[in-house]
């Protein structure tokens, strides 16, 4: 299916990738463009944003690259203004920025705990604050926040701050959905399970003896036998952003190969 987002303008925060390959935000930005949306690829790294925008341009679609820091409201507002000026408004807000810090309350220092709050849930607040006025003025829109299966399940890693802040993303999404339902704004979130993206090799490899061990262990935890890919998350994002989901709001959708349905490792 094509053109499900034709005529829409999307802003994707976290549209770059943390390494070679396809991260969730990068895949979402390209998937939106392939469905007809004009896409603002926003990332802390302008090089990463330009790489994603370049892929979209190379496929014959429309995109701009924007640098922004989601922990800074002024930076977000500047990115939103640039996007609105380029595209004449914003119909889709996609939040994909997040980080993990290993450790429970004993091991985790307060600086990193606060950083997780500022980034993982703070970004949802700041981007919504900047984009919602445009959506309300334009008669509606769709917000898709990337949460995590860690919002509702212990997934085997000791990252207290990540569990807490991703749970907050779920409830913040619900709050947005209900407050703005009568204004034509839908808000949903995706809870990816174990996804094979560049991020896991940067942030989680230290938890295992080798990369091969990490991949095998993560595959074994998924009922379908293998980790998902960024394209699985992107496909869900396209659906939730499209008019096919026009009667869906306030949903936290697991994209996890069934992992949220079981307790323990599959064999």
Encode pLDDT of 221-238 as tens digits.
Answer: 999 999 999 999 999 999
In this structure, the strands spanning 9-13 and 38-43 are parallel
Enzyme catalytic residues: 162
Domains of the chain listed by start with CATH number = 9-194+229-254 (3.40.50.720)
Of the pLDDT bands very low, low, confident and very high (cuts 50, 70, 90), residue 165 is very high
Inter-residue contact 193 to 222 (CB < 8 Å) = yes
pLDDT of residue 1: 55
* Mean pLDDT across 244-266: 90
Asked if residue 204 has pLDDT above 70, the reply is no
* Mean pLDDT across 140-146: 98
Encode pLDDT of 88-108 as tens digits.
Answer: 999 999 999 998 888 999 999
Give the global pTM.
0.94
Q: What is the C-alpha separation between 207 and 157, in angstroms, rounded?
A: 8
pLDDT of residue 267: 46
């Amino acid at each position: 299916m094509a053109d499900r987002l034709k005529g829409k303008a999307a802003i994707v925060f976290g549209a770059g990738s943390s390494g070679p390959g396809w991260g969730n935000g990068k895949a979402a930005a390209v998937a939106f463009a392939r469905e007809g949306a004009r896409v603002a690829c926003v990332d802390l790294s302008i090089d990463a944003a330009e790489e994603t925008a370049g892929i979209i341009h190379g496929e014959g679609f429309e995109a701009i690259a924007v640098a922004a820091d989601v922990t800074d409201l002024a930076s977000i507002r500047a990115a939103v203004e640039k996007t609105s000026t380029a595209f004449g408004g914003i119909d889709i807000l996609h939040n994909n920025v997040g980080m993990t810090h290993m450790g429970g309350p004993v091991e985790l220092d307060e600086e990193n705990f606060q950083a997780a709050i500022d980034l993982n849930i703070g970004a949802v607040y700041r981007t919504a604050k900047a984009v919602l006025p445009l959506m309300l003025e334009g008669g509606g829109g769709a917000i898709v926040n990337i949460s995590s299966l860690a919002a509702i399940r212990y997934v085997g890693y000791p990252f207290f701050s990540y569990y807490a802040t991703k749970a907050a993303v779920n409830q913040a999404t619900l709050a947005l959905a209900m407050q703005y339902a009568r204004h034509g704004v839908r808000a949903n979130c995706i809870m990816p399970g174990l996804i094979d993206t560049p991020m896991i090799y940067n942030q989680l490899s230290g938890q295992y003896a080798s990369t091969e061990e990490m991949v095998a262990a993560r595959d074994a935890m998924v009922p379908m036998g293998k980790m998902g890919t960024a394209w699985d998350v992107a496909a869900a994002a396209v659906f939730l952003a499209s008019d096919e989901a026009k009667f869906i709001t306030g949903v936290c959708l697991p994209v996890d190969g069934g992992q949220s349905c079981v307790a323990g490792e599959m064999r």
